[in-house]
Structure 1
């Protein structure tokens, strides 16, 4: 999945000469957490967060607030240079940047112009979609040898039951490189027949690993 599929294109921006007061008003009115700072060509030259703006604003507990601080230009508190991403970057690769750098948003740039923004919330919702948890489904985990051709073998068991697979993930099995865990979500609320077929085919289920327990849990 590309970043362009999940990015927000209606981005609130400010020029570097805008005041901190203007930025404060925007984050309060629009309930946003980041504002990219752009020049006349819509190139990203900085970014400010709601925390940056509030830290630069007079405290409500200050008996003698310096209102002049609010009239300072936003470029005095913006972070720069800014790490940006491209619309055709892969979501899973950008997720690693969010994790490694602990970012909460990233501007999306194409041909040196701002075209969108991606936030932590966008990334989390995409994860929900990729794992299939946004639709009613049943969760099945199968431990398999890490060898070529194993995925179609296991998927064939689901195919015999005409089970609709809504998502598929592959996880490492603990620290053992000889095995993987295939995590299926299938669009049925009664996966018992598929579970039984997998067991009869000799596959080890990580979840549910006991059909009777699963049936009792469903009740």
Structure 2
């Protein structure tokens, strides 16, 4: 599933800043590109990362010092190398979105520089990109009908349900299943279908109620929801 790889969802090319650049320069880059972090480079080598929060702190006047060098503009002249996070966490362009999410959670990150096989920075992936992936995967646009069910976890269990949906004329769009929040021995499945008429939908619901535990149905077409 190549569409699950980082290289298909990252922002590219990466917008970067040189380690010798001033804080003021980095602030301008962030504002011009409407982004929140920058990989810091020395030539082609990644040496750090700097965020908008780092820049905000660095550019704030130091009111505790009488030294004129600590006036309102002193922080803006600092080199990025003085305030950056060294040796940042990176991710390969050929790793998965799942790997990305895990790194975000473990390291409490908002974004990651993406590198290729030769360790060149080829892009950035952020939480915004991750959310875009999720929306696309589950069916962006709030259309169709979403079913959430809990069913006995056995080989082919989800396929059995999608086959029933097709028997009633539904076109299956997206399917996601997990054991994460299900009872032991069960799994939850989240299925989005299209192209089913109301009478067929009503019959489908009755059949499903006999075979699985219904969690909810959200009908984006009719703007209705049923929570079981």
Q: Once the two structures are superposed, what CA deviation does each residue of 1:144-196 show, in whole Å capped at 9, x if it has no partner? A: 10111212211111221332212111133745221112110112475662452
Q: Which residue, out of 36, 40, 44, partners 2:39?
A: 36
Q: Is the Cα contact below 8 Å between 2:59 and 2:74 reproduced in 1?
A: no
- Give 1:130 shift: 1.3
Distance 1:147 1:191, change over 3 A: farther
Distance 1:217 1:27, change over 3 A: closer
Q: Is the Cα contact below 8 Å between 2:17 and 2:41 reproduced in 1?
A: yes
Per the alignment, residue 152 of structure 2 pairs with: 145
| Cα distance between partner residues in 2 of 1:58 and 1:206 | 51
- Give 1:100 shift: 2.3
Measured on the aligned residues, the alpha-carbon RMSD in Å equals 2.8
Structure 2's unaligned 5+ residue stretches are none
Structure 1 window deviating more from structure 2 (194-203 vs 47-56): it is 194-203
Structure 1's unaligned 5+ residue stretches are 210-214
Q: Does 1:71 align with 2:77?
A: yes
Q: Once the two structures are superposed, what CA deviation does each residue of 1:126-147 show, in whole Å capped at 9, x if it has no partner? A: 1111111335111112221011
Q: Secondary structure at the match of 2:100?
A: helix
Q: Once the two structures are superposed, what CA deviation does each residue of 1:8-57 show, in whole Å capped at 9, x if it has no partner? A: 112211111111111122122222110111121x2211000001011100
Query: Where does 1:40-189 land on structure 2 (aligned, <5 Å)?
Result: 40=43, 42-59=44-61, 65-110=71-116, 111-172=118-179, 174=181, 176-188=183-195
Q: Secondary structure at the match of 2:76?
A: helix
Number of residue-to-residue matches in the alignment: 213
